[in-house]
Amino acid sequence: MRAQVVIIGGGPSGLLLGQLLHRAGIEAVVLERKTRDYVLGRVRAGVLETGLVRLMEEAGVVGRLHREGFVHDGTQIAVGGEMFHIDFKALTGTPVIVYGQTEVTRDLYDARAVAGARTEFEVEHVVIHDADTDRPYVTYDQHGDRKRIDCDFIAGCDGFHGVSRQTIPLNVRREYEKTYPFGWLGVLSETPPVHDELIYANSDRGFALCSMRNAHLSRYYIQCALSDHPEDWTDKAFWTELKRRIPAEMAERLETGPAIEKSIAPLRSFVTEPMRWGRLFLCGDAAHIVPPTGAKGLNTAASDVNYLYRGLVRYYQDGDSEGIDRYSEKALLRVWKAERFSWWFSGLLHRYPHQSAFDLKMQQADLAFLRDNESQQRAFAENYVGLPY
């Protein structure tokens, strides 16, 4: 079997890259470890930057997104029982769209099926061969058979635990990591959102976030200890604690219900450099992870896809390799800016162990500056809606 590009990982970044390449006339095969239903069963965040929306438009998969997505012109920050608004549209001219990552993935799978593009599910024991030569290939097991795909390039979109990053020799890659001393306990409930915009809350009991998937499906988070387990938290305990961390007016309006999904996610900042080795390119979580504060994970993966897609099109259509040669440099420049924003925003909202009285005063001063200073709000808004590619 042969393809111009092998994409390892059938999540949103791999599927988006595949759809964009298909529309440019470049053959790409997507390899996914799980089934389609399993991938679509993952519940993930869904705040989309304008850059990602434009890529979806270029990929021809925005019909449902524009019909069902929620356009958010701003967000709410809650501090000490009060809220203030940051108006993205007024400050930058640009909103964000709330549309679940699962729905993005579903739309891309549907488009790929309509196009007749190749997607191989339930692949195991993927091995990348000769990525540092001009004749790379990939082998894998599928339903008991060993298979091989020869290709020109390989895109590693297979996440933090995937094979792609591990293929780059240790003497070539350098990794940077920060782990946070808390996690997020998240609950999904079939209840209407408490507010028509996201609420990020800083309270003396810890961070909280009120988010949504649609008009009847809400997603809520609270900061918790890393030692906690989802089963430690009854629904009643979760709702009680959430209400303590958001303004009283919002707590009174909050509609509670049974949790249909409950999980705890640790927070991590991680970057590997470089994002290219020979003809292997890393995209998304395979190369970098951000804390969920600020919703940069999917969006940063999309910016990687943008640079790689345009570099490959330039290579195949014009014989010009500058785009792929500079891929890692361009992608990392934007990645580190997103890492900085996510790290800063996390520090602004969470309670950290061993925070001194001085540390807390500095956090309060930062929040007051954001509330009162238009230039700071503009900088926040520019980062939140997405820096240019």
pLDDT in tens, 213-243: 888 899 999 999 999 999 999 999 999 999 9
| Residue 234 one-letter amino acid | T
pLDDT score recorded for residue 42: 75
Marked catalytic residue, from 99, 137, 140, 200: 200
pLDDT score recorded for residue 80: 85
Q: What is the DSSP letter of 278?
A: T
Mean pLDDT of the region 143-148? 96
Domains of the chain: 5-71+96-177+268-345 (3.50.50.60), 180-267+351-385 (3.30.9.10)
pLDDT score recorded for residue 41: 83
Strands annotated E in the chain: 5-8, 28-31, 47-48, 70-72, 74-79, 82-87, 96-98, 119-120, 123-129, 137-142, 145-150, 153-156, 174-189, 199-202, 208-214, 217-224, 259-273, 276-277, 280-282, 288-289
Q: Quote the CA–CA distance of 219 and 130 in Å, as a whole number.
A: 44
pLDDT score recorded for residue 296: 96
pLDDT score recorded for residue 46: 85
| Annotated catalytic residue 296 | yes
Mean pLDDT of the region 85-105? 95
| Annotated catalytic residue 292 | yes
Mean pLDDT of the region 296-320? 97
pLDDT score recorded for residue 370: 98
Q: Quote the CA–CA distance of 188 and 42 in Å, as a whole number.
A: 12
Marked catalytic residue, from 22, 195, 288, 296: 296
Q: Is 197 strand, coil or helix? A: coil
* End-to-end Cα distance, the chain: 34
Residue among 230, 206, 378, 214 nearest 293 (CA): 206
| Annotated catalytic residue 384 | yes
DSSP secondary structure letters along 116-140: T--EE-SEEEEEEE-TTSSS-EEEE
Marked catalytic residue, from 140, 292, 315, 330: 292
pLDDT score recorded for residue 158: 97
* pLDDT above 90 for 32: yes
Marked catalytic residue, from 140, 221, 327, 384: 384
Cβ neighbours of residue 177 closer than 8 Å, sequence gap 6 or more: 268, 269, 270, 271
Q: Are 376 and 88 in contact (CB under 8 A)?
A: no
Mean pLDDT of the region 177-202? 97
pLDDT class of 249 with cuts at 50, 70, 90 = very high
Assigned token pair, 221:
């988070």
pLDDT score recorded for residue 38: 87
Q: What is the pLDDT of residues 351-377, one digit of tens each?
A: 999 999 999 999 999 999 999 999 999
pLDDT class of 43 with cuts at 50, 70, 90 = low
Percent of the chain with pLDDT over 90: 95
pLDDT class of 45 with cuts at 50, 70, 90 = low
| Annotated catalytic residue 193 | no
Mean pLDDT of the region 173-201? 97
* pLDDT above 90 for 207: yes
| Annotated catalytic residue 109 | no
Assigned token pair, 4:
């111009």
Marked catalytic residue, from 72, 195, 288, 350: 72
Q: Quote the CA–CA distance of 140 and 7 in Å, as a whole number.
A: 13
Residue among 292, 298, 297, 290 nearest 221 (CA): 292
Of residues 38 and 305, more confidently modeled: 305
Q: Are 142 and 29 in contact (CB under 8 A)?
A: no
Q: What is the pLDDT of residues 277-300, one digit of tens each?
A: 999 999 999 999 999 998 999 999
* pLDDT above 80 for 344: yes
